[in-house]
Structure 1
Amino acid sequence: MSLDFRDTWLIIPCFNEGSVIGEVITNARATFPNIVAVNDGSADNSAAAIHAAGAHLVNHPVNLGQGAAIQTGVEYARAQPGAKIFVTFDADGQHQVKDVVAMVDRLRAEPVDIIVGTRFGRPRSEDDQVPLIKRIVLKTVVALSPRTRRLGLTDAHNGLRVFNRTVAEQLNLRMNGMSHASEFVRLMDDHSWRVSEQPVDILYTEYSMSKGQSLFNGVNILADGLLARRLP
């Protein structure tokens, strides 16, 4: 296992996550010293919490959406000396540092450009945390996207991704909202990046469920899947 992660940058898009973002950053910085959090026009104390936790802070004056925040964060990180590995990491506490460590180690050791987390890489068990409606929605999105299936991805809306300098330099997300996930898949296909998946654990807390598991969110994801079918 790698012990030195100074060449690795975590990119955290953040919108109104002031109650949890400080703890998320503190936990991650115990392993990964380089973190840039993009405060995407938050109306709460997110910026102050990010600064207090010791991450690099970039502010969007208005909310531009997760895709724009990720693009801003990647551009900031790739401009830093020695940056070689890049990680997109959620601000709400769902992603696990242990999974990032495993994915970074794989990226160093294997002939791949990008590794995407998947909630569906292990046999289902009784303690499976993925809510049923969420599972149905995510699998429907995959079924609607020929590109996703061609790349062998099973969880196109997993925000945990680890990628190398080649991907970071070529990344140019122009879709700012939920649809950035489909654009990420399109870029993987268009640039012929070498893609792999990694089974990961998603921590569904009461907080994250209230932020991201609503019916409206599911409708947005399904709409994104329909959009993916229209992307060339």
Structure 2
Amino acid sequence: MNQIFFVIPAYNESFVISSVVRAVQKLCSNIIVVDDGSDDDTFSEAKSAGAEVLRHIVNRGQGAALATGVLYSLSKGAEIIVTFDADGQHDPSQINELIEPILQKKTDVVLGSRFLDSKLKTQNLHNVIPFTRLIILKLALLHQWFFTGLKVTDTHCGLRAFSRKAAEKITITQDRMAHASEILEEIARHRLSFIEVPVRVRYTAYSLEKGQRSLTGSIRILYDFFVGRFLNVKR
């Protein structure tokens, strides 16, 4: 996997980042952690675990961290770029399912979808995904269908894979959570081919605490999705 790079945006993830990096190392040695202005030991923990760590002096947001990591990976010769969350939610054992369609030249982008997971379909969604997050995801789907016409089942899963061609064309200007919708808009604008594959997400007490569970966080995401688009706010 010399041509495959992992980009892991991280903000105050010192508690889990070393275990995440070590899990990914079993599959790939090119791991780029972007420390997005953390005020804990994220930088040193990721570095000691073996990742190459880039650092934002101030917290700019997940979108900005992804943009930094993707551009750096391209400069290092990446042919496939995988984006991966830092909080331990993603399962590294599923990576082959994401990269194989790109390796076989079947598509430009592979998007992970939590809602295609057969196990999830048999469970009550509210028992697996927090209610406020579920509402956000459903609204994001409506937003995406309206503005791009793309029919996807999950707009906000951070587990994705991009060919070099796709990564070079996609421009991320939304610094914060609206970057997920922006990526899909870029896929539509450049007419890149894409597929979705089912992925499992492990919601833990830690990841839920870190995630957009609160009302304030929910409002911020919705603002980025809708108001930010019309005001052209760049975060």
Per the normalisation by structure 1, the TM-score is 0.90
Structure 1 residue corresponding to 2:42, chosen from 43, 46, 50: 46
> Bigger CA drift: 98-107 or 65-74?
98-107
Structure 1 residue corresponding to 2:22, chosen from 5, 23, 26: 26
Corresponding residue of 1:75: 71
State the secondary structure of the residue aligned to 2:15: coil
- Could you list the per-position Cα deviations for residues 25-46 of structure 1 after superposition, in whole angstroms to 9, with x for gaps in the alignment? 0111111111000111110000
Q: Does 1:63 align with 2:59?
A: yes
State the secondary structure of the residue aligned to 2:224: helix
CA shift in 2, pair 1:24/1:56, >3 Å: same
Please give the residue correspondences for 1:98-137 in structure 2 after superposition, counting only pairs within 5 Å.
98-123=93-118, 124-126=121-123, 129-137=128-136
Corresponding residue of 2:214: 214
Distance, in Å, in 2 between the alignment partners of 1:45 and 1:230 is 37
- Give runs of ≥4 in structure 1 deviating > 6 Å: none
Distance, in Å, in 1 between the alignment partners of 2:90 and 2:201 is 6
How big is the alpha-carbon RMSD for the aligned residues of Structure 1 and Structure 2? 2.1
Amino acid aligned to 1:85: I
Shift of 1:54: 0.4
**2:110–2:197: 8 Å Cα contact kept in structure 1?**
yes
Q: Taking every aligned residue pair, what percent have the same amino acid on both sides?
A: 36
State the secondary structure of the residue aligned to 1:140: helix
Unmatched segments (≥5 aa) in structure 2: none
**1:142–1:225: 8 Å Cα contact kept in structure 2?**
no
Amino acid aligned to 2:164: R
State the secondary structure of the residue aligned to 1:115: strand
Distance, in Å, in 2 between the alignment partners of 1:197 and 1:216 is 30
Corresponding residue of 1:165: 164
Instruction: Determine which structure has the larger helix proportion and give its number.
Output: 2
Shift of 1:121: 1.2
**1:182–1:228: 8 Å Cα contact kept in structure 2?**
no
State the secondary structure of the residue aligned to 1:116: strand
Shift of 1:230: 4.8
**1:142–1:149: 8 Å Cα contact kept in structure 2?**
no
Distance, in Å, in 1 between the alignment partners of 2:146 and 2:30 is 32
State the secondary structure of the residue aligned to 1:157: coil
Q: Does 1:13 align with 2:9?
A: yes
CA shift in 2, pair 1:144/1:168, >3 Å: closer
Shift of 1:206: 0.5
Q: Does 1:223 align with 2:223?
A: yes
Distance, in Å, in 2 between the alignment partners of 1:28 and 1:207 is 19
Unmatched segments (≥5 aa) in structure 1: none
Distance, in Å, in 2 between the alignment partners of 1:48 and 1:225 is 33
> Bigger CA drift: 205-214 or 221-230?
221-230
Corresponding residue of 1:189: 188
State the secondary structure of the residue aligned to 1:87: strand
Amino acid aligned to 1:219: I
CA shift in 2, pair 1:115/1:203, >3 Å: same
